[in-house]
Amino acid sequence: MRSSKSRSRNKNNRNNNNRSVGNVMNRVFDSSGPEGKVRGTPQQIIDKYTQLASDATLSNDRVAAENFQQHAEHYLRILAIATREQEARREQQEKDQRERQQQRDHQRSDKQDRDQPAGTGEQPDVAAKPAEDTALVETPEAAQDQPRPRRQRRPKPAGASEQGDAPKTDGPAEAAE
């Protein structure tokens, strides 16, 4: 009788084998061809089998040449599928990025619309026109633009020193009395 652990392990291993692991473009494959093992990335394996096919063609071995070409075609298909998937992922990422940028732009414009007072969207320049031409009430903003009159200082008391307002003392003894 089988234990439940071995069944679950086998089930998980089967599911993991169907998933593509990592970047196929740079993944190293072991190919067991008619001439022995060929190891490398898909592009390297394609190049190797293509070279073996041309060598077989030169030696008039059409069967071996066809076999090498079929091996090269297999890895060429793997590479083509990986390239298409990579391109689709890149396009999807670019599309998602454009959508996020549009949402940010839309949120910024909504925030600007909320921050502006209702009306035409632009406020007229009231300060540029003379006050007698307009029947507008003076606002606190307009008052800020005008220079404020300076207040005059109060005169210092007669016994004040130059350093501060307190009268000068001779030392700590006078302060204690």
Instruction: State the DSSP string of 36-91.
Output: EEEEE-HHHHHHHHHHHHHHHHHTT-HHHHHHHHHHHHHHHHHHHHHHHHHHHHHH
pLDDT confidence bin for 24, thresholds 50/70/90: confident
61 vs 14, higher pLDDT: 61
Average pLDDT of the chain is 76
Residue 30: per-residue pLDDT = 85
Asked whether the beta carbons of 42 and 24 are under 8 A apart, the reply is: yes
Structural domain spans, the chain: 24-109
Choose the weakest-confidence range: 79-83, 92-96, 108-112, 125-129. 125-129
pLDDT confidence bin for 131, thresholds 50/70/90: low
Is 50 a residue whose pLDDT tops 60?
Answer: yes
